[in-house]
């Protein structure tokens, strides 16, 4: 187990911090560092999860290699960037991607193959998911007849908001919306088929895409990780239940049990919750790739 990395600081390089990532701007490129920060209920928790950033990075690299779709990755060698990156190589290695800059399409491209989460809630009330009509009689965690594309707006703070395909088309233009729907569903299908062969169900996931100066659409950000996807162990899957998932559910469950009001800074996580959450992330990587975490 590596020492957890809550935050990186590289003097002299402009940095923007997201909930999990520290993004350094080199002018023509970005350097994205996946820290071990964990967010839940729209808060960044004070306790990092060791190796979480390394899992997110290693899984993203695995999927980009597997999928072979145009994407933003240029490399991972932080020593080639020179100082100050090379001076902090021990901390950065295994959790850093050097990427092309892209103009982000301001819509999360969500693909769902199963009825779960907010989709299950909407279906019970309206028989739809993000306005997509579904057949009656489905249960929690039911497989959908076909994967569905359910975009959401990207919100800087708070939860992303589900929108209709027509609303997405108004934001991005109809041609871009149609292209991203087709590409996102294609990537989901291929990834879900592969994961099923490894004993894991990919229930849903979200992708981010961006334009490069040529106008080409490329896949950006993390890809098919436990933070962006709902992975279920196939052996534990039962229709009508909420299967255990390879993500931060232990953390959410523990926070719900503490009486925390979700409006004030969250409490520190106890060691056993940290350890179990780390195990879930590492297990997701090892099950999907067939390799030990580097």
pLDDT tens digits, residue range 215-252?
999 999 999 999 999 999 999 999 999 998 888 878 98
Residues 6+ apart with CB under 8 A from 279: none
Based on C-alpha coordinates, what's the Rg of the chain?
19
> Is residue 75 within 8 Å of residue 58, measured between CB atoms?
no
SS3 59: helix
Per-residue model confidence (pLDDT) at position 289: 98
Which residue's structure tokens are 């997110």? 56
CA angle, residues 67, 160, 211, in degrees to nearest 5: 45
Cα–Cα distance, 291 to 251 (Å, whole number): 26
pLDDT in the model for residue 253: 87
Residue 207 DSSP label: E
Using DSSP's 3-state secondary structure scheme, residue 30 falls into strand
Interaxial angle between packed helices 271-289 and 52-67, expressed in degrees from 0 to 180 and rounded to the nearest 10: 20
Q: What is the pLDDT of residues 61-120, one digit of tens each?
A: 999 999 999 999 999 999 999 999 999 999 999 999 999 999 999 999 999 999 998 899
Per-residue model confidence (pLDDT) at position 91: 96
Selection from 111-115, 131-135, 252-256 with the highest mean pLDDT: 111-115
Q: List all residues 6 or more positions away from 15 whose beta carbon is below 8 Å from its beta carbon.
A: 9, 22, 23, 24, 25
Dig out the tokens for 269 from the structure: 């996580």
Length of the chain, please? 294
pLDDT in tens, 199-211: 999 999 999 999 9
The DSSP secondary structure of 148-206, one letter per residue, reads EE--EE--SSS--EE--HHHHHHHH-HHHHHHHHHHHHHHHHHHHHHHHHTTEEEEEEE
pLDDT, residue 43, reads 93
Sign of torsion over alpha carbons 54, 56, 57, 60: positive
Contacts 24+ apart (CB under 8 A), 60-67: 60/97, 60/222, 60/223, 60/224, 60/225, 61/97, 62/285, 62/288, 62/289, 63/191, 63/223, 63/224, 64/219, 64/223, 66/191, 66/194, 67/187, 67/190, 67/191, 67/219, 67/223
Query: What local confidence, expressed as pLDDT, does residue 130 receive?
Result: 87
Going by pLDDT thresholds of 50, 70 and 90, the confidence category of residue 157 is: low
Q: Phi/psi at 162 (nearest 5 deg)?
A: -65, 140
């Amino acid at each position: 187990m590596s020492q957890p990395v809550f935050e990186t600081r590289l003097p002299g390089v402009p940095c923007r911090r997201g909930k999990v990532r520290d993004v350094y701007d080199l002018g023509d490129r970005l350097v994205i560092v996946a820290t071990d920060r964990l967010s839940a209920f729209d808060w960044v928790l004070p306790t990092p999860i060791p190796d979480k950033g390394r899992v997110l990075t290693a899984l993203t690299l695995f999927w980009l290699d597997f999928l072979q779709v145009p994407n933003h990755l240029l490399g991972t060698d932080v020593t080639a960037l020179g100082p100050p990156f090379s001076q902090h190589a021990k901390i950065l290695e295994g959790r850093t991607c050097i990427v092309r800059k892209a103009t982000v399409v301001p819509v999360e491209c969500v693909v769902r193959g199963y009825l779960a989460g907010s989709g299950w809630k909407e279906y019970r009330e309206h028989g739809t998911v993000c306005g997509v009509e579904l057949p009656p009689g489905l249960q929690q965690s039911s497989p959908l007849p076909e994967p569905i594309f359910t975009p959401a707006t990207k919100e800087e703070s708070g939860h992303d908001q589900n929108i209709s395909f027509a609303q997405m088309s108004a934001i991005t233009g109809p041609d871009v919306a149609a292209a991203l729907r087709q590409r996102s569903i294609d990537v989901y299908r291929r990834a879900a088929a592969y994961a099923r062969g490894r004993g894991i169900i990919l229930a849903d996931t979200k992708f981010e895409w961006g334009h490069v100066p040529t106008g080409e659409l490329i896949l950006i950000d993390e890809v098919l990780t436990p933070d962006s996807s709902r992975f279920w162990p196939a052996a534990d899957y039962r229709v009508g239940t909420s299967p255990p998932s390879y993500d931060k559910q232990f953390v959410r469950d523990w926070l719900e049990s503490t009486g925390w009001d979700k409006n004030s800074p969250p409490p520190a996580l106890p060691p056993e919750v940290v350890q179990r959450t780390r195990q879930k992330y590492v297990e997701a990587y090892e099950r999907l790739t067939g390799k030990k975490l580097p």
